[in-house]
Structure 1
Amino acid sequence: MTSEPAGPPSSVPVLVARTSAVADPGQLIALLPDDQHPSDLMSWLREGDGMVGWGRAASISTNGPTRFDDAAAWWRDISARAVVRDDVRRPGTGPVAFGSFAFRSTSASGATLVVPEVVVGRRDGIAWVTTVSVAGNLPQQPELRTPPCPESPVGLQLTDGALTGAQWSDAVDAAVQRIRAGEVDKVVLARDVEVRADSDLDARWLLGRLASSYANTWTFSVDGLVGATPEMLVRREKGLVHSRILAGTIRRTGDDEHDLALAAKLARSSKDLEEHEYAVRSVAEALSPHCQSMNVPEAPFVLHLPNVMHLATDVAGVLTDEATSLTLAQSLHPSAAVCGTPTAQAAEVIDELEQMDRGRYAGPVGWMDTKGDGEWGIALRCGQIDGENPSRIRLFAGCGIVAGSDPAAELAESEAKLLPMRHALGHE
């Protein structure tokens, strides 16, 4: 394992990577070993396909306003110096860096890129294994095995985070007053809760539960940040760029007929449509310098998830420059979907009213290969496992606040957004 600071190429390790096709290994999450720290288990899966990884061949931690640029420069150097044998040659083969980035540049959580020692992937019916080592050590293809099943957490205790529910509702009310006074158009307020268990949490348990219950989201694990996000910040693949924007939410009841009526109500809601319009506009404006032939639908569709429904819009474009997927993610962050409009003013309101450090919640999370292709979601529906005390995890949820927002309704929405992680933990 190596962890290298940003710097000139001489300080960057030379990685040797080998990617080989393999027979379908079955459930990818089930392959994650049981002897790794939660921070060394990586995942990016949707509908059973994607990648899992473990171990650290190399990694970097960055902080401050240059956290994206420093991480990107390190990965460029790693990619340029790597010795790669890739028999599969698809997006995600060869060396891959999994990453997560703090929401704010001032956060102590900073950012990280991790190159796993082993990555197992599957896409379009093709499966592969990539092994990575530092130069001088020829990587050997591991024997893929299914370790013992993870144990469920026990003795769970949930406590308030920075604010109680009532205090957070007051913060929402204060934000509404700011909006009505014309200080901002929209602001996204988040809250946190803390869960403690009697023993260390097994990230494999959380990932398995999330992937099973929320298969149409992206189930991720990077450096102890675990979740299932429905929002694709940006995908770059062979010159094409795609982003899925979610803003505007309503909780499901479990009754199909009633939920269809709620979906129709959501699609007509002026409050939710206004919130969604701000988010789509911010993404389209951020992508336009890098893309041509952009397709921005005039109206959103309703995305049905097990716990909630969202207004959703898929934006697509053709890349016109050499921007990598990480560069695109940097240009998009923070979007109105997780910050507000105008961005600078909304960020100031967040700092004042949330009274917490979001850490890497609502920041970009995903992966990138040596060609610059990759997928970066927004770290939503997630929790951060405490690196020093893995029996603790912080859960997060946020809501978009506009002039028509009701504090009680927003608190209920935040509870709905906490459900995926609470259910994954077994805390009903």
Structure 2
Amino acid sequence: MNRKLTATRGPRLNIEDNKVRFFTETIDAGRISPLAFFEAGDSSYSHERFYWQNADKTLTLVGLGHATVLASDRVEKRFEDISNAWQTLCAALIKEEKDLDPVLFGGFSFDPNHVKESEWAAFPSAHFVVPSIQLIIKNGKTSISINLVTESEYAVEEFDRLRDERDRLIHIAQVEEFNVLSKPEVVSVVEIEKERYLKAVGDVTEKINNGEAEKVVIARSVKLQFADEVPAVTALHHISNEQQESYHFGLQKEGQLFFGATPERLIEISNGRAYSACVAGSIRRGKSAAEDRELGDELLEDRKNREEHQYVVNMISQVFEAYCTDVSIPKVPKLMKIRDIQHLFTPVEGEVEQGTDIFSLVQALHPTPALGGVPTNVSMDIIRSEENMDRGYYAAPIGWTDTAGNGEFAVAIRSALLDGECAYLYAGGGIVADSVPEEEYDETWVKFRPVMRALGGKLHG
């Protein structure tokens, strides 16, 4: 297919120009495996794909190709940049009532103020795409849309070519055999600056005891080296298969895949109502149901974890009170149990005030105390000085919105950056006054496990 006709424009498309038009068309499709459809785009869109599945499995999204890219390198205005560009693009939309709303998918970096030379060089502070071809499975029904953003006078011809491309991809996904690949062969696991991490935890604990902050999240990374290049679909298949209770995501850019299985929703807006989740405080799963209950009860009663959890509840509650009405927050947390770990969990919801979009809420909520600390500004300064790591999109917002204003963002933890024959895995924990470096180190291994296992690595501890 002539790629020019899919309107792959790059990050500087001038959507302010009133000549730009945004076309979409949706057809119903039969049963299609979303990962088979993802893999069908490998030959033509190997660097231009995304994948999303929400935690309750009621929505799956796959995007192939780029109708357009919205990006920002700015520090203070990146949320506003994406919001404004998306609103302008939405105003150019031409669709029929039967057509589904086009989707914008992407993410933000954790901290654009803390950029160093790292594996994240290809990712700007904000990167979002409108796919040329999008698959949506919602409540069991599969639909496929084509999207065209164009200034060309030959839009009709371009759209016809997109229809042909859509049909080709559907045929591949439905007819050709999709081979589930075995897990990669791991050659080595390298802990990156382990001693620096342990020292950072000790130093941060001392700062907290000196009254400089109440809580600071410190993260670290490990690098897996594989015998061969790992296909993106292999990583997505295994992480999705093994972490059933989580959000699954994958975002490709310039040969890399950022992917993961996160338990943590940041914000969802559905028909004008907003939902968030306070997730902080954790303990391992038990080897038996009885031990699991004992550990869960221990977590519910643990002062350190309850305190850490309350920081998150307080912060998210304040944001909802500022941007929503009819806010509902349970007074006591419950347990969220996933395969390798259990967390304290408190749901929050409210009615979104008119004029507030999902990017406003994402900006107000990021970073939560579960990923940054308390107070926010102080903890971020300490992270920059002590962590010595570019988090990239790890622990940052990733998700989607549509032209109707609905959408959902998760916090990109339990994640990795896959880069050919290697992958970088990330994990962290909240440091408070009585934190012990060795215990925090052990906790990171629990958090590494989901991605480590999916990529064929051996569990530590």
Range of TM-score over shorter length: over 0.9
Cα distance in 1, alignment partners of residues 304 and 9 from structure 2: 49
Distance change >3 Å, CA 349–CA 36, structure 1 → 2: farther
Partner residue, 1:58: 68
Q: CA deviation at 1:7?
A: 5.2
Please, which moves more after superposition, 64-73 or 3-12? Answer: 3-12
Q: Distance in 2 between matches of 1:102 and 1:403?
A: 28
Among 305, 316, 331, the alignment partner of 2:364 is: 331
Q: Deviations over 1:19-62 (max 9, x none)?
A: 2233332x322321232565422111134442122211111221
Residues 85-123 of structure 1: CA deviation (Å, up to 9, x unaligned): 3525xxxx3211111100112236422001112211122
Equivalent of 2:34 in 28, 36, 40: 28
Superposed displacement of residue 404, structure 1? 2.5
Which residue number corresponds to residue 395 of structure 1?
A: 425
Structure 1 residues 266, 156: closer, same or farther in 2, change over 3 A? same
Please tell me the residue identity of whatever aligns with 1:117.
S
Note closer, same or farther for the CA distance 1:19–1:280 as it changes in structure 2 (3 Å cut). Answer: same
1:160-171 alignment runs, 5 A limit: 160-161=191-192, 163-164=193-194, 166-171=195-200
1:236 and 1:352 map into 2 onto residues whose CA distance is 35
What is the DSSP-based 3-state SS (H/G/I as helix, E as strand, rest coil) of the residue aligned with 1:264?
helix
Give unpaired runs (5+ residues) of structure 1. none
Q: Is the 8 A contact 1:364 1:379 kept in 2?
A: yes
Cα displacement (A) at 1:16: 1.6
* 2:22 equivalent to 1:10: no
- How many corresponding residue pairs? 418
Q: Is the 8 A contact 2:108 2:396 kept in 1?
A: yes
Among residues 60, 65, 83, which one is paired with 2:94 in the alignment? 83
The equivalent of 2:4 in structure 1 is: none
Q: How far apart are residue 321 of structure 1 and its match?
A: 2.2
Q: How much has 1:371 moved relative to structure 2?
A: 1.8
Please say which of residues 174-183 and 101-110 is displaced more in the overlay: 101-110
Give the fraction of aligned pairs with identical amino acids, expressed as a percent: 28
Asked whether the 8 Å contact 1:12–1:78 carries over to 2, the reply is no
Match of 2:148 in 1: 133
Out of 26, 33, 44, the residue aligned to residue 52 of structure 2 is 44
Correspondences of 1:142-181 after superposition (within 5 Å): 142=167, 143-144=170-171, 145-146=173-174, 148-149=178-179, 151=181, 152-161=183-192, 163-164=193-194, 166-181=195-210
Q: Say if 2:218 is the partner of 1:201.
A: no
SS of residue matched to 1:350? helix
What is the identity, as a one-letter code, of the residue corresponding to 1:409? E
CA shift for structure 1 position 8: 5.6
Question: Matches of 1:126 and 1:327 in 2, distance apart?
Answer: 31
Distance 2:11 2:387 in 1: 34
Matched letter for residue 129 of structure 2: V
Q: CA offset at residue 149 of structure 1?
A: 2.2
- Using a 3 Å threshold, how does the CA distance of structure 1 residues 200 and 78 change in structure 2: closer, same or farther? farther
**Mapped contact 1:326–1:372 kept (Cα < 8 A):** no
* TM-score, normalisation: structure 1: 0.92
- 1:309 pairs with 2:339: no
Tell whether the 8 Å contact from 2:239 to 2:261 is kept in structure 1 after alignment.
yes
- Determine if contact 2:15/2:89 at 8 Å carries over to the other structure: no
Contact kept in structure 1, 2:221 and 2:427, CA below 8 Å = yes
1:124: which partner in 2?
A: 139
For the Cα contact (< 8 Å) 1:13–1:58, is it kept in 2? Answer: no
| Preserved CA contact (<8 Å) 1:61 1:111 | yes
1:221-279 CA-partner distances (Å, limit 9, x unpaired) = 12321011110000011110000121001112332211110000000000000000001
1:62 alignment partner AA: S
* Distance in structure 2 (CA, Å) of the matches to 1:316 and 1:60: 29
Q: Which amino acid aligns with 1:114?
A: V
Question: Matched residues in 2 for 1:81 and 1:308: separation?
Answer: 45
Which region of structure 1 is more displaced relative to structure 2, 5-14 or 315-324? 5-14
Range 137-146 or range 209-218, more displaced? 137-146
CA distance in 2, matches of 1:339, 1:130: 38
- 2:22 is aligned with what amino acid? L
Cα 1:401–1:317 shift into 2, 3 Å: same
Q: What is the Cα deviation at residue 12 of structure 1?
A: 8.5
Matched, 1:225 2:240: no
| Cα distance in 2, alignment partners of residues 133 and 345 from structure 1 | 44
SS in 1 for 2:447: helix
Distance 1:174 1:12, change over 3 A: farther
Q: How does 1:97-116 map to 2 (within 5 A)?
A: 97-106=104-113, 107=115, 109=123, 110-116=125-131
Say which is worse superposed, 173-182 or 132-141, in terms of deviation.
132-141
- Contact kept, 8 Å, 1:156 with 1:427, in 2: the verdict is no
Q: Distance in 1 between matches of 2:353 and 2:22?
A: 30
Instruction: Report if aligned partners of 1:232, 1:376 keep a CA contact under 8 Å in 2.
Output: yes
SS in structure 2 of the partner of residue 254 of structure 1: coil
Q: Are 2:101 and 1:94 equivalent residues in the alignment? A: yes
Contact 2:286 2:295 in 1 (8 A): no
Who wins on radius of gyration, i.e. which is larger?
A: 2
| Aligned counterpart, 2:436 | 406
Aligned partner of residue 112 in structure 1, secondary structure: strand
Q: Does the 8 Å CA contact 2:48/2:64 hold for their aligned counterparts? A: yes
Shift of 1:299: 1.0
Cα RMSD for the two superposed structures: 1.9
Q: 1:179 to 1:64 in 2, by over 3 A?
A: same
Q: Which residue of 1 aligns with 2:26?
A: 19
Are residues 349 and 35 of structure 1, via their aligned partners in 2, closer, same or farther at CA, if it must alter by over 3 Å? same
1:290–1:321 CA contact under 8 A, matched in 2? no
Partner residue, 1:421: 451
Specify the SS of the correspondent of 2:322. Answer: coil
Contact 1:86 1:94 in 2 (8 A): no
Q: Counterpart amino acid of 1:18? A: E
